[in-house]
Structure 1
Amino acid sequence: MSAVLHEIDGPLARVTLNRPDVLNAINNELLEELADTLDHVNSLPDVRIVLLSGTGRAFCAGDDLKELSSGAEIEVEPAHLVARLQDITRSMMFSDKIYLVCVQGWAIGGGLSWVLNADLAIVERTAGGFFPEIGLGLFMSGAVTTLLPERIGHPKAMRLFTSGEKVTGEDMERMGLASHLAEAGKAAAMVETVASDLLALAPDLLKAVKRVYTETGRSVIEAALKEETATLTRALEAVEKVRIAPQNS
């Protein structure tokens, strides 16, 4: 079963995370398929809107902790995993397509990063999110180390990064992490409406709005991605050493 599904519907591309049994948790397979899928849809000139969602009860539950703690050696170099993770952010933020994220259930860690990477996020009131990375000995990704403070201020961002505090969908909309708030079970319908409204706008002007925003802040985002990449890679390498140490003793 593919970890990522996609369909092209004229100017709209629907991309769906498809690991519902583990709440669409991020593993190497999902990373590779999502990065490749976004590269593909970004290359299609007729596609103007990309809708990213998840199957089942959650949008994305962050890193697949069962895989990280399974005791088996990581099959892919940590540096490659982190690079692919950050490539997804670049695909979302630096593309001329407008990215919409539809969030039901949990958006955790990297999943919550993708919410901030999107141009518009439609979040259900009963959804939830948090950044558990530091508490797990890992680190954030997706340029959220600069995007979150920009949205909510440095002190609040530091609190969310370091405490693992959970926020609801209502909190996300109030804090500026989400653009639209939907009632439980209604996000999928709302995101289709938002996409339809966007498609009614002048394509060149819509692209220009995104281009001006991303290009003026691109150097800051790239700097954050670079620092996150180095820190998260070191953290994953440390996790790998701990996992394989008993086998070498």
Structure 2
Amino acid sequence: MNQSILLEIKNKIATITLNRREVFNSFNREMALRLQKVLDDCETNPEVRAIVLTGNGKAFCAGQDLKEVTNPELNPGFKKILEEHYNPIITRLRSIKKPIIGAINGVAAGAGANIALACDIVVAHNKVSFIQAFSLIGLVPDSGGTFFLPRLIGFQKAQALAMLGDKISAGEAEKMGMIYKVVNLDEFEETINQLALKLANMPTKALGYIKELFNSSMTNTLEDQLALESKLQIDAASTDDYAEGVAAFIEKRKPIFKGK
């Protein structure tokens, strides 16, 4: 059985764990394809209303397993690695209409850093670092790094980090807007649990519409974005969760959302 990706579903939360700790959770082909399958399963499982993506051990993810690409018998080639491994992972993270928390438990380097940035809400503990390591071995950022990073922190800063390969602490990442929040190591697990529980009990369809709107805002004109806001607001207003939210507000009670 493939154990490179672990999946646990509890309290409407799917926790996906990168599990090649002996190589700092770096990706080989088997792991990349397995992650895609698990993400697909979480997307279609009605019992899952929030997803947590994290790593096992000292690293979140060190990117590509270089032993695979330097082994003539195992190397799939960069075209296949990008088109069949990383690009589908990034597009899944952005297209799944459920909130995804990047719970960054350790160093996130190369493709690992950019997979983290593709999550909806990124939380790291204070011992974590992020590094765009590509240029240090003569490569360019992939896995959406050149798309997300300049939009998160600005063009100049993003290009400098991509060229120089600077290691950025979680605290620095939070200050520059690269991630949502940094917490102390001893508070990390509880913070992730509470955040995931909150999201899992919120109006899931509305969260999916919010995600769709922010994705579209990357390329839309203002007019296109206003039109999409109108469409999705109408869709949101037709959900059971909206009816429940309004009823709970009027009745001065806590709403019980069912994700419908």
Q: TM range, normalised to the smaller chain? A: 0.7 to 0.9
Tell me the equivalent position of 1:103: 104
Query: Where does the alignment leave 5 or more consecutive residues of structure 1 unmatched?
Result: 220-249
Instruction: Give the AA of the match of 2:195.
Output: V
Question: Matches of 1:199 and 1:4 in 2, distance apart?
Answer: 22
Is 1:51–2:48 an aligned residue pair? no
Distance 1:87 1:195 in 2: 24
Assess if the C-alpha contact under 8 Å between 1:25 and 1:60 holds in 2. Answer: yes
Aligned match of 2:81: 81
Deviations 1:183-220 (A, max 9, x none): 1243222111111122332223222211211233368x
Select the structure with the greater relative contact order (CA < 8 A; seq sep ≥ 6): 1
Q: Secondary structure of the residue that 1:24 maps to in structure 2?
A: coil
Q: Does the CA-based 8 Å contact 2:82-2:143 persist in structure 1?
A: no
Q: Offset at 1:158?
A: 0.7
Q: Say whether the 8 Å CA contact 1:53–1:102 is kept in structure 2.
A: yes
Gaps of 5+ in 2: 221-260
- Relative to 1, partners in 2 of residues 1:108 and 1:217: Cα closer, same or farther, differing over 3 Å? same
Question: Where does 1:20-31 land on structure 2 (aligned, <5 Å)?
Answer: 20-31=21-32
Alignment of 1:89-168 (within 5 A): 89-168=90-169
State the number of aligned residues. 219
- Larger gyration radius, structure 1 or structure 2: 2
Q: Distance in 2 between matches of 1:3 and 1:198?
A: 26
The verdict on how the C-alpha distance between 1:66 and 1:80 changes in structure 2, with shifts beyond 3 A counting, is: closer
Residue equivalent to 1:199: 200
Q: What residue is the counterpart of 1:60 in the other structure?
A: 61
**Per-residue CA shift, 1:9-39, capped at 9, x if unaligned?**
2521110000111111111121111111111
The answer to whether the Cα contact below 8 Å between 1:103 and 1:187 also exists between their aligned partners in 2 is: no
- Residue aligning to 1:179: 180
8 A Cα contact 2:69 2:76, kept in partner = no
Alpha-carbon contact 2:17-2:55 (below 8 Å) kept: yes
Distance (Å, rounded) in 2 between the aligned partners of 1:92 and 1:170: 24
- Distance in 2 of aligned mates of 1:94 and 1:23: 27
What fraction of aligned residue pairs are identical, expressed as a percent? 27
For 1:234, the equivalent position in structure 2 comes to none
Q: Give the Cα–Cα distance (whole angstroms) in 2 for the partners of residues 188 and 19 of structure 1.
A: 20
Change (3 A) 1:206 1:10: same
Distance in 2, matches of 1:29 and 1:214, equals 29
What amino acid is aligned across from residue 123 of structure 1 in structure 2? A
One-letter amino acid of the structure 2 residue matched with residue 179 of structure 1? Y
- The amino acid of 1:73's aligned partner reads E
Partner in structure 1 of residue 241 of structure 2: none
When normalised by structure 2's length, the TM-score is: 0.78
Which residue of structure 1 lines up, in the alignment, with residue 171 of structure 2? Answer: 170
Residue 77 (structure 1) shift: 4.3
Is the 1:11–1:49 Cα contact (8 Å) retained in structure 2?
Answer: yes
Task: Report if aligned partners of 1:115, 1:177 keep a CA contact under 8 Å in 2.
Answer: no
Q: CA RMSD in A?
A: 1.9
Partner SS for 2:61: coil
Offset, 1:75: 4.3
Q: Deviations over 1:76-115 (max 9, x none)?
A: 3432221221100111111101110111220001111011
Are 2:14 and 2:42, in contact at CA under 8 Å, matched by a contact in 1? yes
- For 2:14 and 2:182, locate their aligned partners in 1 and report how far apart those are by CA, in whole Å: 22
**Helix, strand or coil at the partner of 2:162:** helix
